[in-house]
Amino acid sequence: MRRVIVFNNVTVDGYFAASNGEMQWAHRNPQDEEYSAFVAGNANGEGQLLFGRITYQMMASFWPTATAMEQLPAIAQGMNRMSKIVFSRTLKEVTWNNTKLVKGELVDEVRKMKNEAGPDMAILGSGSIVSQLASTGLIDEFQVMVNPVILGGGRTMFDDVGKKLNLKLANTRAFRNGNVLLNYVPAA
């Protein structure tokens, strides 16, 4: 069975996006070699990305550009090569290569996808998708990268979960730039 993994940057005060949706704070830390290698390894072109409309439009406006290829060539190549699925009822088309638009019911579609052959799926950003899938038990792992910054307000990726979800810490990893990766799995 395919797994669904969430990977999101969050602030120390628990926000994955500022109130206006801005997420650049997650990329303002001083980088270090270990962290850069970790990020590049995650964007290796394997797996499948799941997005909502807002995150898709943000990612598609950067990764296929010359700026992305110049600034972060290994990550840009991987992001552009990866298979991507966008869940949206309002988008008419998707133009980023290797992207499929799905207009069906999110939970039903992901449940079907988990039972099909294929690579694991990763959700980046897309808080509304995270909330919907978390509350149904379809997320197998939460990878939370805590950044050493406090926003004082914003959106959590769990704004609409609506119920308590018990998680178990599976792994941690600290980076020299101050980021800390926390890996959680649903508690039995």
With contact defined as beta carbons under 8 Å apart, do 50 and 110 qualify?
Answer: yes
Looking at the structure of the chain, the number of domains it has is: 1
Range with lowest mean pLDDT among 3-12, 22-31, 109-118: 22-31
Residue 172 belongs to some domain of the structure: no
Closest C-alpha among 53, 7, 2 to residue 157: 7
In which element (H, E) is residue 143 found? strand 141-147
Within a domain: residue 82? yes
Residue 148 lies in a domain: yes
Q: What is the domain range of residue 125?
A: 4-165
Whether 72 maps to a domain, the answer reads yes
Report the pLDDT value the prediction gives residue 13, as an integer from 0 to 100.
95
Confidence of residue 26 (pLDDT cuts 50, 70, 90): confident
Instruction: Say if 184 falls within a structural domain.
Output: no
With contact defined as beta carbons under 8 Å apart, do 15 and 159 qualify? no
Straight-line distance from the first to the last Cα atom of the chain, in angstroms, rounded to the nearest whole number: 18
Is the model's pLDDT at 99 over the cut of 70?
A: yes
Helix/strand/coil (H, E, C) string of 13-33?
CCCCECCCCCCHHHHCCCCCH
**Confidence at 171, pLDDT banded by 50, 70, 90:** very high
pLDDT given at position 33: 84
pLDDT digit string, tens, across residues 46-68 = 789 999 999 999 999 999 999 99
Residue 188 lies in a domain: no
User: Between residues 160 and 118, which one has the greater pLDDT?
Assistant: 118
Helix H or strand E segment including 185: strand 180-186
pLDDT digits (tens, 9 = 90+) for 122-160: 999 888 899 999 999 999 999 999 999 999 999 998 988
Does 175 reside within a domain?
Answer: no
* pLDDT > 70? residue 30: no
* pLDDT value of residue 160: 83
Confidence label for 45 from pLDDT (cuts 50, 70 and 90):
low
Q: What percent of the chain has pLDDT over 70?
A: 98
| 178 is a domain residue | no
Please name the residue ranges forming H helices in the chain: 33-42, 53-60, 66-71, 73-81, 106-115, 127-135
Q: Cα–Cα distance between 46 and 69 in angstroms, integer?
A: 18
- Give me the CATH number covering residue 135: 3.40.430.10
Residue 31, pLDDT > 80, answer: no
Q: Model pTM?
A: 0.91
